[in-house]
Chains A and B, each alone.
Chain A
Amino acid sequence: MGETITFWVLAVVSVSAALGLVFSRKAVYCALMLGVVMLSLAVLYAVQDAPFLAAVQIIVYTGAVMMLFLFVLMMVGVDSSDSLVETIRGQRFWAMIAGIGFAVLLALAVGQAAIGDPAGVTGANQRAGGNVPALAELIFTRHVFAFEVASALLITAALGAMVLAHRERTRPRPTQKDLAKARFVSGYPGPLPGPGTYARNNAIDMPARLPDGSVSELSVNRVIARHDVEDGRLPDDPELAEAIRQAAAEEEEHNASIAGPKEDR
């Protein structure tokens, strides 16, 4: 009775979540819906006397795999649109074949359960004295080779990903000590000046005036200065405007210098 109720409730929840996954417009919502489907599956497993599978389903699929998905979605950003160019030749054909193959497999599996007399997990659990020992017995004796092969496959995949993402360093990464050294040798080890002693405003793109009344170019953020120059938002005071132009020119120079030898960026 309880099992039936759980099944129908979860069926509604998971099917509507699956539909939401297909029809949702935002990628993060799709990922969440998939998470809901996975959680419903986990509860179904638990109801079917397979608590270990339920826990592992949540830990591995919901906790690790979906989390990776979410990470990627967030890194990529919401607004990026999909590229519709098909790079693999004949991928529609092969996708169709794979789809048909999967459907046949699914039909066979469901048919196996529907036509034959289902044995149920309860018997297997009782014979080995619990769900966890029963699983352990099968994993570490009969299916040990399959599991080892699967783990080798996963490790190979992980290694492949690492090799693809790997970039050889052309020079050792600068340590904190190296950075400090470079700062001291540069001749200006201190922090950049703030808004200045005689600041008339606290806008971040306004150069500071030093105690002697001169304008400090160092106090302007170079990136913001460049935007100011490009958008023509310069202050009326010619001295301040000149300082902003100066900083923008430095930014241009800096950009040109890193555009040439591009490394570690």
Chain B
Amino acid sequence: MSTLSPALLAAAPAGPSLADFGKDPLWITIIKAVFIFVFLLLGVLFGVWFERKLISRMQDRYGPNRAGRFGLLQSVADGLKMGLKEDITPRTVDKVLYRLAPIILVVPAFLAFSIVPFGPMVWMFGQHTPLQLTDMPVAVLFVLAMASVGVYGIVLAGWSSRSPYAILGGLRSSAQVVSYEIAMGLSFVGVFLFAGTLSTSEIVAAQAEGGTVELGGFTLNLPSWYVVLLIPSFLIYAITMLGETNRVPFDLPEGEGELVGGFMTEYSSSLKFALIMMAEYVNVFTVSALSITLFFGGWRAPWPISLWDGANVGWWPMLWFFIKLVLVFSAFVWIRASLPRIRYDQLMAFGWKVLIPLNLGWILMVATVRALQVPENNRAVVFTLAAVVLVGILAIWFRFDTVLQRRREEKAAQIEAEFARLQAEPEAGGFPVPPLDLPHYHGAGRKEVPSGSN
């Protein structure tokens, strides 16, 4: 898409900016809000079906194919069943919070979707209005804020259930969401630095055309989608969005082997469980939509389509947005089909000791590049600071590397010595090994005969 000269790209009509919001009459706002609500509800309904269908095709089976054509009505049937089942409330729970928790979980999930841009300015019932419910100067932070309110639902669901599994699951998953939120917030910084704004509609507009950068007399066209330009940011975001939504491989809260159902153990049936599940799927849609907005050019058409003049105007962009959303969601399913669940300590160590430091280093590099792009900046200062930081990092790295190397060698020597000692002993240090000179071994020196050759 990107390295083509701007002439090749269709003249990108400037998308809506912050100034275009807050002018809608009330009824247009209500239409948009209802549309998002219905979109998400249907998305959950058919998202579950799509996920089950796709994952079963990946596992060589058919998946739901009984209710309706292609099993399309399976989720509807499941939902009806949940609505009609007896609503069991365990006797010992804290009744108020037990009922409140699923609601606290689901409301912010829906709210967060309100800043997602679906498309450019369109004419809707005689009103010229952007295809986005609302936007604000801190729209991306709003998503983070809603995510951190949603964590209350998890914690309270775990606490109010009064069950050890639930409280452990609740603590685990909230600790996970809170720590991955930090890495997620840091992965936005690169985008903010390049887009120069925190508003979603303007970030999409900033990805309409790649900027240019002067490097030693050459003018380089930067790619327009931030996924290319800021690939480390995107990769970290992609990992954190799995952690943030508690999806495989980070779905430890529901590690069945250890925690039964995690914080939702006591929500065994009924609509409360349906709400929790809905919140989970809506969160997946929100982070997917955010990844599209921040890294994949939002509702803008990808390259071959963008050659067509009408690609980025009117109602068409909604289709591109939807296709991108389906693709990102499919990636979620694909990951779920391929990866096993990781251990809890590995998860936390990965988040805090790998993702966050990597992210900070990357932000430093992005900021340096941005500082060089500002013309009135003193380049000598930037270069000197960069050199100082670089030398410091290299010194620290060499120091740690030699220490680690020494430690590794010591460990290897220790293992070697232990093997030598155990081999010399006939008892093998107390391990239950059969004596290696038994007759059917033909002696220890004989070469192994591969099976099937005799």
Q: Which residues on A are within 8 Å of B, measured CB to CB? A: 28, 32, 35, 39, 42, 51-52, 54-56, 58-59, 62-64, 67, 70-71, 74-75, 130-132, 184-185, 187, 189
B137 touches A62 (CB 8 A): no
A28 touches B148 (CB 8 A): no
Smallest Cβ-Cβ distance to A71: which chain B residue: B171
B152 cross-chain contacts in A, Cβ below 8 A: 32, 35, 67, 70
B389 contacts A by Cβ under 8 Å = no
CA distance A28 to B185 in the complex (A): 28
Closest CB-CB distance, A121 to chain B, in whole Å?
12
CA distance A184 to B152 in the complex (A): 45
Closest CB-CB distance, A109 to chain B, in whole Å?
25
Smallest CB-CB A-B distances: 6 pairs: A63-B148, A58-B145, A55-B141, A55-B138, A185-B430, A51-B138
B429 contacts A by Cβ under 8 Å = yes
A185 touches B149 (CB 8 A): no
Given A64-B178, A74-B155, A132 and B137 contact (CB-CB distance below 8 Å): yes
Partner of A67, one of B94, B167, B178: B178
Interface 0/1 of B118-160, CB less than 8 Å to A: 0000000000000000001110011011011101100110110
A189 cross-chain contacts in B, Cβ below 8 A: 432
B141 touches A52 (CB 8 A): yes
B138 touches A63 (CB 8 A): no
B149 touches A131 (CB 8 A): no
B97 contacts A by Cβ under 8 Å = yes
Q: Which of B18, B138, B142, B174 has the most CB of A within 10 A?
A: B138
A184 touches B432 (CB 8 A): yes
B149 touches A58 (CB 8 A): yes
Interface residues of B, count at CB 8 A: 33
Given A28-B97, A52-B138, A63 and B155 contact (CB-CB distance below 8 Å): no
Partner of B137, one of A42, A51, A64, A67: A51
CB-CB contacts below 8 Å: B409-452 with A? 429-432
Q: Which of A63, A184, A185 has the most CB of B within 10 A?
A: A63
B178 cross-chain contacts in A, Cβ below 8 A: 63-64, 67
24 contacts between A and B (CB under 8 A): A32-B152, A32-B156, A35-B152, A39-B149, A42-B145, A51-B136, A51-B137, A51-B138, A58-B149, A59-B141, A62-B148, A62-B149, A63-B145, A63-B151, A70-B159, A71-B175, A74-B155, A74-B159, A74-B170, A74-B171, A130-B18, A132-B198, A185-B430, A187-B432
Given A28-B97, A184-B432, A58 and B155 contact (CB-CB distance below 8 Å): no
A35 cross-chain contacts in B, Cβ below 8 A: 152
A185 cross-chain contacts in B, Cβ below 8 A: 429-431
Closest CB-CB distance, B374 to chain A, in whole Å?
14
Closest CB-CB distance, A19 to chain B, in whole Å?
17
CA distance A132 to B178 in the complex (A): 24
B181 contacts A by Cβ under 8 Å = yes
CA distance A52 to B141 in the complex (A): 8
Smallest Cβ-Cβ distance to A68: which chain B residue: B178
B159 touches A28 (CB 8 A): yes
Smallest Cβ-Cβ distance to A42: which chain B residue: B145
CA distance A32 to B149 in the complex (A): 11
A55 touches B142 (CB 8 A): yes
Known: A67-B152, A71-B171. 18 other contacts (CB 8 A): A32-B97, A39-B149, A51-B138, A55-B141, A59-B144, A59-B145, A62-B145, A63-B178, A64-B178, A67-B148, A67-B151, A70-B155, A71-B174, A71-B175, A74-B170, A130-B18, A132-B197, A187-B432
CA distance A62 to B149 in the complex (A): 7
CA distance A54 to B432 in the complex (A): 65
Partner of A52, one of B137, B170, B185: B137
Closest CB-CB distance, B10 to chain A, in whole Å?
30
CA distance A131 to B139 in the complex (A): 12
B148 touches A64 (CB 8 A): yes
Closest CB-CB distance, A162 to chain B, in whole Å?
13
B142 cross-chain contacts in A, Cβ below 8 A: 55
CB-CB contacts below 8 Å: B79-119 with A? 94, 97
CA distance A51 to B97 in the complex (A): 30
Smallest Cβ-Cβ distance to B155: which chain A residue: A70
CA distance A207 to B29 in the complex (A): 68
CA distance A56 to B141 in the complex (A): 8
CA distance A166 to B111 in the complex (A): 41
Smallest Cβ-Cβ distance to A77: which chain B residue: B167
B151 cross-chain contacts in A, Cβ below 8 A: 63, 67
CA distance A70 to B152 in the complex (A): 9
B174 touches A67 (CB 8 A): yes
Closest CB-CB distance, A254 to chain B, in whole Å?
21
B185 cross-chain contacts in A, Cβ below 8 A: 59
CA distance A62 to B146 in the complex (A): 10
Closest CB-CB distance, B183 to chain A, in whole Å?
14
CA distance A58 to B147 in the complex (A): 10
CA distance A39 to B431 in the complex (A): 61
Closest CB-CB distance, A126 to chain B, in whole Å?
12
CA distance A35 to B171 in the complex (A): 18
Closest CB-CB distance, B107 to chain A, in whole Å?
12
CB-CB contacts below 8 Å: B249-282 with A? none
B94 cross-chain contacts in A, Cβ below 8 A: 28
CA distance A32 to B198 in the complex (A): 29
A71 cross-chain contacts in B, Cβ below 8 A: 155, 171, 174-175
B145 touches A55 (CB 8 A): yes
A132 touches B138 (CB 8 A): yes
Smallest Cβ-Cβ distance to B182: which chain A residue: A64
CA distance A35 to B142 in the complex (A): 17
